[in-house]
Amino acid sequence: MTTFVLVHGAWHGAWCWHKLVPELQALGHRAVTFDLPGHGNDTTLRRKVTLDSYATSIVKVLDSIDEKVILAGHSMGGMAITAATEQRPEKIKALVYLTAFLPRNGESLFAIEERNPRPSVPENLVPAANGKTASLNPERVVDLFYHDCSAQDIVYATEHLTPQPLELLSTPVKITEAGFGSVPRIYVECTDDHAISIELQRDMIAASPCVQVISLHTSHSPFFSMPKELALALARLA
């Protein structure tokens, strides 16, 4: 049995894994999910959320588990797992980037996004009046995240989305070869992703080579569109 710690992306929460968790369990594995600060049921004030607070919340989960885990991050969650790994590389068997941002040292999410040949999310941000958070253009969110998902999953997801704290998206990560660089990483590319284009995914992989790349022909949300196939791919890593 392998323990998977699953870290959600921007606007999402632990709720997004509800179809993947039972699939992993059916294959004999354990899946741990939780809300990052300011997401889901977590009550942290969003204006106080930072990349460091994301990393700290992940480290607390890692420290609560006795064995090494496979740490997986979706989308923006890639930034969070990268920052956390620098603090606890010894707790992690492998990193999985699920159509996620994979930064080099000194890069922020927004800096990586500038290399996207088909940018879509930044131009659809709807900032709050205080400028601290943003929602997404409701007319575009389905195409960006869920275009191949069922109507039921789309309703469920869009009802659960919450505003995204913005400051951490421009915060660069600080990583070293001795920390983050010591943990093997795997990338799960989603070839029909309308949020993080496949070109940008492959650009990140080329800049930070991974020990394995897995391809799924799916949207930005394979945990909804093909949870069984995603679970099988993850289980093979275990």
pLDDT tens digits along 41-59: 999 999 999 999 999 999 9
CA distance 100 to 190: 10
Count of beta carbons in the 10 Å neighbourhood of residue 28: 10
Is the predicted pLDDT of residue 238 greater than 90, yes or no? no
Contact present, 202 and 157 (Cβ < 8 Å): no
Q: Which amino acid, 76? A: M
CA distance 163 to 132: 10
Nearest to 103 by CA among 71, 122, 69, 76: 76
Three-state DSSP class for residue 229: helix
Nearest to 93 by CA among 189, 5, 205: 5
Instruction: Catalogue all structural domains in the chain, each as residue range(s) with its CATH number.
Output: 3-237 (3.40.50.1820)
Catalytic residue set: 75, 193, 220
pTM: 0.97
User: Each residue of 165-220: pLDDT tens digit?
Assistant: 999 999 999 999 999 999 999 999 999 999 999 999 999 999 999 999 999 999 99
CA–centroid distance for 159 within its chain: 19
